[in-house]
């Protein structure tokens, strides 16, 4: 069964749709497996995807995954994390590698 994975960040979502994969930061770990990608709660499905890897991360190591995030700088990514988390940048979180599933 597919679980919903919301991509409110336009930059991360666009990177995923353009490149077929993205590293995304989440405050809680998501289960590995199939996901239903959307841009907000109660919104239409954009695509199917799959969480294929996740790992705990200290926020100071975020730059390790920058190239695959859709953001042009660590500061830009941190600003988006702050915006999406009520003005707070959590010290720890989870990086997930999400792949786009292409329909045949």
Exposure of 100 by Cβ count < 10 A (0-12 exposed, 13-18 middle, 19+ buried)?
A: middle
Locate 104 and state its tokens. Answer: 């045949």
Q: How confident is the model at residue 102 (pLDDT cuts 50, 70, 90)?
A: confident
Model confidence pLDDT, tens digit, residues 53-68? 999 999 999 999 999 9
Q: Could you tell me which of 93, 94, 103, 78 has the C-alpha nearest to residue 11?
A: 78
| pLDDT above 90 coverage of the chain, percent | 96
Per the prediction, the chain carries an average pLDDT of: 97
Model confidence pLDDT, tens digit, residues 23-53? 999 999 999 999 999 999 999 999 999 999 9
**What pLDDT, on a 0 to 100 scale, did the predictor assign at position 30?**
96
Locate 55 and state its tokens. Answer: 């790992």
d(CA 25, CA 17): 17
**What pLDDT, on a 0 to 100 scale, did the predictor assign at position 44?**
97
What is the sign of the dihedral through the CA atoms of 56, 45, 85 and 20? positive
> Which domains occur in the chain, in start order?
3-101 (2.30.130.30)
């Amino acid at each position: 069964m597919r679980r919903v994975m919301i991509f409110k960040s336009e930059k991360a979502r666009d990177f995923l749709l353009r490149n077929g994969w993205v590293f995304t930061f989440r405050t809680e770990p998501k289960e590995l497996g199939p996901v239903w990608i959307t841009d907000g709660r109660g919104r239409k499905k954009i695509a199917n995807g799959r969480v294929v890897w996740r790992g705990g991360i200290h926020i100071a190591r975020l730059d390790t995954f920058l190239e695959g995030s859709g953001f042009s700088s660590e500061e830009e990514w941190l600003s988006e994390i702050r915006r999406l988390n009520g003005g707070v940048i959590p010290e720890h979180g989870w990086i997930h590698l999400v792949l786009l599933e292409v329909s045949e």
